[in-house]
Amino acid sequence: MPLCRWQTFTRENCLGAATIQLAALGWTLALLNDATPLEAAPAFLVGLGILSMSTVAMIGMVTVGGRWAHRLGLIALGFMMALAIVLPIDMVWLIDVGLTAVAFLALLSPFVTRSIRRLPSASGPPPRAITPPLLLLATPAILGLLGNGSEPWALLIVGVGAPNVAWLYSRVIPGGLLAMRLIWPAVAIVLSPWMSLWAGIASVTIAVTVIVLSWHKSVKASYHPPREVGTAYPIPPELAPKEVLDAAEIDDRGRPK
């Protein structure tokens, strides 16, 4: 994997992260089985959800060693085990259970956990700003597992919209914060009557949770960092970074070069 060469993390960590993606691909193929008890729209959403979560978890673990990525990977594997309960047992099922077990062992092994941050990054966004988009990534899988008997169009609008809103927010695209705070939750609540009972309850619950979390001031600060007019303070030249001194063409004693 190219990312493993670009970053400082171990190849064991890269391989551990890749096992999540392999397991997700395996379960997505299993959802194509005609014997699955899930209807077409719910099966599609479950596949979309576990692939979205596993992909984001893999990238986050390999590039930044994020604790959130490691936990998201474990959550994705939890959804895969839920699929193991729902889907019929056959050869594909056995292979997928094996891949999931290997992924669990890999994520919990010291070879992977040693490269995961022990503390939150000092320069990263606060946990309150990370939770809403991660919850939106898990929404398709949640609605898919509970979505039998729902109107497919309502289920797909809410389920497919959730990870797209998470992407808009995480990429700081104009309108992303508004979509996460108001537009998607409103759509999820309005369309809940056209879903099955449990899917509707899940849709409303997720929407309310996203609203509560995303209106915290730390979320807006992460999306729109405060811009204030800076103030210049004199400092001794020996404390200034070398590149600043070079740009000013002075030495570490403040004398022209």
Tell me, yes or no, whether 159 and 83 share the same domain. no
Q: End of a domain among 118, 137, 170?
A: 118
pLDDT score of 7 = 44
Does 154 share its domain with 110? no
pTM of the entire predicted model: 0.78
238 is a domain residue: no
**Taking the chain, what is the end-to-end CA distance rounded to the nearest angstrom?**
47
CA dihedral 233, 239, 240, 241 (to 10 degrees): -140
Q: What is the mean pLDDT of residues 134-142?
A: 95
Average pLDDT, integer, range 130-150:
93
Is the pLDDT at 3 greater than 50, yes or no? Answer: no
| Confidence band, pLDDT 50/70/90 cuts, at residue 5 | very low
Asked whether residue 69 falls in the same domain as residue 133, the answer is no
Dihedral angle at the C-alpha atoms of 101, 104, 110, 114, nearest 10 degrees? Answer: 150
pLDDT of residue 1: 36
Comparing 30-39, 83-92, 133-142, 221-230, the range with the smallest average pLDDT is: 221-230
Residue 41 has pLDDT above 60, yes or no: yes
Is residue 130 over pLDDT 50?
yes
Which of 57, 84, 118 is the last residue before a domain boundary? 118
Residue 248 counted as domain residue? no
Sequence-distant (≥ 6) Cβ neighbours of residue 249 within 8 angstroms: 256, 257
Task: Return the DSSP state at 182.
Answer: I
- Structural domain includes residue 243: no
Q: Do 22 and 91 have their domain in common?
A: yes
For 204, the domain range is 125-225
Q: Is residue 231 part of a domain?
A: no
48 located within any domain: yes
The token pair that represents 188 in the structure block: 């999820």
- Answer with the residue of higher pLDDT: 160 or 12: 160
DSSP state of 116: S
Could you tell me the maximum CA-CA distance found in the chain, to the nearest angstrom? 80
In the chain, the percentage of residues whose pLDDT exceeds 70 is 79
Q: Judge whether 251 lies within some domain.
A: no
- Same structural domain, 204 and 174: yes
Residue 11 within a domain:
yes
Domain boundary among the residues 82, 103, 118 is at 118
- 154 and 94 share a domain? no
Is the dihedral angle over the CA atoms 186, 190, 194, 196 positive or is it negative? positive
Instruction: Tell whether 26 and 49 lie within a shared domain.
Output: yes
Number of domains in the chain: 2
Predicted confidence band of residue 253 (pLDDT cuts 50, 70, 90):
low
Same domain for 102 and 1? yes
164 within a domain of the structure (yes/no) = yes
Same domain, 6 and 114: yes
Residue 231, pLDDT > 80, answer: no
Residues 136 and 80 in one domain: no
Confidence of residue 108 (pLDDT cuts 50, 70, 90): confident
